[in-house]
Amino acid sequence: GENVEQHPSTLSVQEGDSAVIKCTYSDSASNYFPWYKQELGKRPQLIIDIRSNVGEKKDQRIAVTLNKTAKHFSLHITETQPEDSAVYFCAASIWYSSASKIIFGSGTRLSIRP
């Protein structure tokens, strides 16, 4: 089955700097890669996702890149702000016409230093 590895497990960056979180997946059939943000004590929420037919996607300060050949995908946050402090999860899934199983990485705790 699918396995998703995520690193680093913790990341501390200066406010205003960029943060990068990397993930690898094992199943070459995976075709959908979402990223979720979970603030302390809250539920995870989708922040950005990418499909396997796209190499990069941006949404304001957040971007995700996908390298299908290497089975790598990454989250990039630019101009980090205090509200970016949270745990971030990558995930991979195979999307069919019905439900797909989403397998999550183990998470990255991002801290933004003032």
Mask: binding to another protein, 19-58, rule CB under 8 A, as x and -? Answer: -------------x-x-x------xxxx--x-x-------
Q: Which of 41, 10, 1 is nearest to 108 (CA)?
A: 10
Minimum CB separation of residue 74 from another protein in Å reads 17
Say how far apart CA 59 and CA 76 lie, in whole Å. 10
Locus of tokens 């050949």: 69
Say how far apart CA 97 and CA 86 lie, in whole Å. 32
Counting residues that bind another protein (by CB under 8 A) gives: 26
Q: Which range binds another protein by CB under 8 A, 13-21, 58-66, 73-81, 96-104?
A: 96-104
Figure out which of the listed residues 21, 93, 110, 112 binds another protein, where binding follows CB under 8 A: 93
List of residues contacting another protein (CB under 8 A): 1, 6, 9, 32, 34, 36, 43-46, 49, 51, 89, 93, 95, 97-107
